[in-house]
Structure 1
Amino acid sequence: MSCAIKTKNDHIHTPRDFRGGRHVFVNGNEIRYVIYADTKKGIVKYHPHPVRLKKGSDVVYTRTLKGLVTVEFIK
């Protein structure tokens, strides 16, 4: 029997979901600085490095990737 708690949103991964560190891959390529990953929809949002702000505002610039998203938990 597994000790992991299953929720209905196990396919959604964020830095603040308290499930520990993990590596996120899109089409086999590791993506760093991920802020949102959905393995069911195949969407990853991340901050390109170095972090930039959008012109004329203090909103951090993000990019979205689509494809086969896989997540590996770090032990």
Structure 2
Amino acid sequence: MADHIHTPNDGRGQRDVFVNGNRIDNVVWADARGGVVWFCPAPVRVAKRKDIIYARRLRGTVEVVARG
């Protein structure tokens, strides 16, 4: 996988994801180069008329920082 793509299970440890300087929780997928983040807003819920978890997309300046 490319170095600019981040997922919770990619084996690179825990990280914090920031979009335009705001920390985002429950991130499913982040592309630091493309400026796109998919996340599940709290509380996590099921999408209407579908059996999938509701997720949203954010765009902006994405920064991924390793937790110390």
Q: Same fold (TM over 0.5)?
A: yes
Runs of 4+ in 1 over 6 A off after TM superposition: none
1:73 has 2:66 as partner? yes
Please give the residue correspondences for 1:20-59 in structure 2 after superposition, counting only pairs within 5 Å: 20-59=13-52
Match of 1:3 in 2: none
Cα deviation for residue 56 of structure 1 reads: 2.0
Gaps of 5+ in 1: 1-7
Please give the residue correspondences for 1:11-22 in structure 2 after superposition, counting only pairs within 5 Å: 11-22=4-15
Task: Give me the whole-angstrom Cα distance separating, in 1, the residues matched to 2:49 and 2:67.
Answer: 38
**Quick check: which has more Rg, 1 or 2?**
1
Task: Give me the whole-angstrom Cα distance separating, in 2, the residues matched to 1:26 and 1:57.
Answer: 28
Give the TM-score of the pair, scaled to structure 2.
0.95
- AA partner of residue 55 (structure 1): K
Q: CA RMSD in A?
A: 1.0
Q: Secondary structure at the match of 1:20?
A: coil
Cα deviation for residue 54 of structure 1 reads: 1.1
Give the TM-score of the pair, scaled to structure 1.
0.87
Cα deviation for residue 22 of structure 1 reads: 0.4
Q: Secondary structure at the match of 1:37?
A: strand
